[in-house]
Chains A and B, each alone.
Chain A
Amino acid sequence: MKWHLPKLLLVLALLLSVACDSTGNARTAAGGGASASASSTPESTTSTSNLLVAGDSLRFVEHSENLAAGFPSSIKPVAIKNPHEGDKNAIATGGKLFIAYNCLDCHGAEGSGAMGPSFQDGRWHFGGSPAEVFESIYQGRPDGMPAWGGRITNDQIWMLTAYVRSLSSKDMSTENFTGKTVERTGH
């Protein structure tokens, strides 16, 4: 396990620059209700990346596999893409945000699992698509995952999404007690 040595000032500067360049979002909840933290601002739509283009009836998750074939659906499928998916720079920034926002201390170093679940196992409680991961971060989850929507910028959430998804690559189905081990920290 590698240990990151974040330079807090660098990260803060980065956060500020990101916040100033915050990207757009058609989700009306993003700007309402939740108050912004000191290092981020509520967002307004910008032209740099209109990530969510579905209009006001956007649904992040459509489990069409649960519908009978030919079931009439009023939901227009919308392809939601992470503008940063696979972008190494964004993933690296997401990794720094992962530390800066204390995600690491819940989900473990490099997402190996701690108080919160692992991100290395390729398995997802609430779905692993970019949109689903975005939603988990944005609105939180019932087991104690905080809601970050409105507290940090959507662009940061997308970078965190890219980072978290980049960790998920291992097949841990079998444990035969000869494989490698990971360093873990207790409390």
Chain B
Amino acid sequence: MRLVQKMEPRHQITFFAIFAIVACSGTAGKDGTNDSVSAEPQATSTAATGASPLTGARIAVAHAGPAGEWQMPAGDYASSRYSELSSITPQNAANLRVAWAFSTGVLRGHEGQPLVIGNTMYVVTPYPNVSYAIDLAQVGQPLKWKFRPANAQQAIGRACCDVVNRGAAYADGKIFYNLLDGHTIAVDAASGTQVWRTKMGDLSRGETITMAPIVVKGKVIVGSSGGEMGVRGWIAALDAATGKEIWRAYNIGPDKDVKVGAKFKPFYAHDRGKDLGVSSWPGDTWKTGGGAVWGWISYDPALNLIYHGTSNPGPWNENQRAGDNKWTAAILARDADTGEMVWAFQVTPHDMWDYDAVSENILVDLPIKGQTRKALVHFDRNGFAYTIDRATGQVILAEPFVPMNWSTGIDLATGRPKVVETKKTAQDKNITDICPSLEGGKNQQPAAFSPQTGLFYVPTNNLCMDFQARAVTYIAGTPFIGGNAPEKGGPGGYRGEFIAWDATTGRKVWGIKEPYPVWGGALATAGGVVFYGTLDGWFKAVDARNGKVLWQFKVGSGVVGNPVTYTGPDGKQYVAIYAGIGGDMGLLIAGDVAANLPYDVRERGTTLPDISRWTSWGGELFVFSL
């Protein structure tokens, strides 16, 4: 299929030599609440603190397909967003240039990432969720096909946070993705014809779908959005061949619905008991309690477990739902064949700050205190970075990765946060200066992991909020929120930071402060270069070891998508990224950047007062090479 499958030059030996020097110099510094301001990217340099050697770290699952392809949303089942390609290095990254670009024809937030299989790139747009197959083997990159699915217009107004789509999955010659109106579809990768189409969500109850599926052993795993609409969140598996639903597990409700049974062995005692998905809610409130699955899904073939997060409980007003509200704001491990829950860890019990736990769960074997641990690393909206035993659900360590003040730490005996009383939100009260804001220390923007450095590369937000909860009535198809939470920049005068994180110690190694929340994802490569994009439209290549910015290019719109890399038919390494500001940060918070409709012009938002000066909306794919 591929015209050329050239081996990439390898620099690993050189790289490891360099890395060894860096590792021995000990750049790790605990810096979760650093307020320092720096106009320039800087490496946080503190004295050696006895950090574990990281060279034993490896990704739990190998990259899917040839190294030069990008077959899965995160590149692999481990959600590592790491590529073995190594042509682009810190030495030559300054020579990167635009190779070609492609307008998706759609405005609004371009979260997610394209796929590359063989010599074809597959792009899925925000609503109306058009998909394109782009022929990489021909000059000018003509389309092989485009597919324009039937997609109910009503969905636009039922999606809380812009009409985003986080990408497609590929298996067995088919492209699988979700439509905003609640359908999952399969499209023939060769011809662009629809193979099957299954209605999974109910728009009239506020259920939309925005997440990227993954395919595990012939099953397409998908989950619902709608945590702001009073949905009852679920995750489901469809037969990849036919689209028939094989299993569906709710995240709230009786054990039978939640698929809690004989296999369920949570690590913490307070998570054991019958029907906790009902008894941790007052009355029938569990039926509209949120717990959606709009983020990323990981899979460990050895344990045969899938891992997913769940969204905030609904409504935001905690007064209407006393109790732990299981299993909202939680990380759940389920049997990949049956959906049965194997363990659960509620990251933020009785969440009252809109701290969804839908961040990706990165599956990496890490050397911790002399042992190799089967770890799951999760950077939560609540501001803590968790290193968890992915076999048992035990929290190994949890440390703040952004400025925060709502909790003083995680009690490792219970896994629960120690909550600061004065930062608890309450109905009819205005609780001020809570950090992080409801956008979280990190939101949908996925982190990356490099087995070369052993470090996680994390796009983060630095925002705080006031929280004003109020009573709200459930009305099907309308928001079920009950609160307002105006946001502002966090301490230090910057609103986002791209950081490198050591998950064996829970420490930040370096950081690049950004004027705006870093709402796009990260990509790590074997060349020692890490890529990310910014809300004001800079696409950057940085040195994986020290965060030095090697190259940057101003793309056509703010970046909320995730970079991928692939080998082109000419044997060269390419890096692709969507431009297209939007999502929660672009549409709701900025407001005015998306205000070009003649009937919908908005004032600037206080949170990002001048973002619209630097970018406006527009969906475009940019591809770079040396």
Contacts and interface: CB of A to CB of B under 8 A. Distances in A.
Interface of A: 1, 3-6, 8, 37, 99-103, 105-106, 109, 112-118, 120-121, 123-125, 141-146, 170, 172-173, 175, 177, 179-187
A59 to B, nearest CB: 22
A112 B603 CA distance: 8
A185 B471 contact: no
Nearest to A142: B153
Contacts of A187: 160-161, 227-228, 354, 438, 481, 584, 588
Contact of B591 (A99, A101, A106, A113): A113
Interface in B564-619: 584-585, 588-592, 595, 597-607, 609-610, 612-613
Contact of B478 (A3, A106, A170): A106
A175 B604 contact: yes
A124 B153 CA distance: 19
B334 interface: no
B111 to A, nearest CB: 14
Interface string B151-167: 00111111111000000
Interface stretch (B483-491, B503-511, B545-553): B483-491
Nearest to A5: B428
22 contacts: A100-B473, A101-B475, A105-B228, A106-B478, A112-B591, A113-B600, A124-B599, A142-B153, A143-B154, A143-B156, A170-B603, A172-B603, A175-B612, A177-B612, A182-B591, A182-B603, A182-B604, A183-B487, A183-B607, A184-B588, A185-B487, A186-B485
A121 B154 CA distance: 23
Given A125-B600, A172-B601, A184-B591, A109 B484 contact: yes
Contacts of B161: 115, 186-187
B477 A146 contact: yes
B62 interface: no
B400 interface: no
Contacts of A182: 591, 603-606
B487 A113 contact: no
A121 B479 CA distance: 23
8 A-B pairs with least C-beta separation:
A144-B157, A105-B479, A183-B486, A102-B478, A117-B600, A125-B599, A8-B471, A184-B605
B578 to A, nearest CB: 20
B372 to A, nearest CB: 39
Nearest to B470: A6
A121 B601 contact: yes
Contacts of B478: 101-103, 105-106, 146
- Most chain B CB within 10 A, of A101, A118, A172, A179, is at A118
A118 B592 CA distance: 10
B439 interface: yes
A181 to B, nearest CB: 4
Contacts of A121: 599-602
A123 B600 contact: yes
B604 A181 contact: yes
Contact of A181 (B471, B479, B606): B606
B472 interface: yes
B86 interface: no
Nearest to B230: A102
B480 interface: yes
B453 interface: no
Contacts of A175: 592, 604, 612
B588 A114 contact: yes
A118 B601 contact: yes
A115 B159 contact: yes
Contacts of B485: 185-186
A144 B154 contact: yes
- Most chain A CB within 10 A, of B227, B430, B471, is at B471
A144 B600 contact: no
A102 B606 contact: no
Nearest to A122: B601
Interface in B308-364: 354
B160 A115 contact: yes
Contacts of A115: 157, 159-161, 479, 588
A121 B485 CA distance: 22
B472 A185 contact: no
A123 B599 contact: yes
B178 interface: no
Nearest to B473: A100
B499 to A, nearest CB: 21
A186 B487 contact: yes
A186 B473 CA distance: 20
A184 B589 CA distance: 6
Contacts of A106: 157, 478-479
Contacts of A184: 486-487, 588-591, 605-607
B155 A144 contact: yes
Contacts of B160: 115, 187
A186 B602 contact: no
A6 B471 contact: yes
A6 B427 CA distance: 11
Contacts of A113: 591, 595, 600, 602
Contacts of A180: 603-604
B476 to A, nearest CB: 9
Nearest to A128: B599
A116 B612 contact: no
Contact of B603 (A4, A37, A102, A120): A120
Nearest to B437: A186
Interface string B447-479: 000000000000000000000101111010111
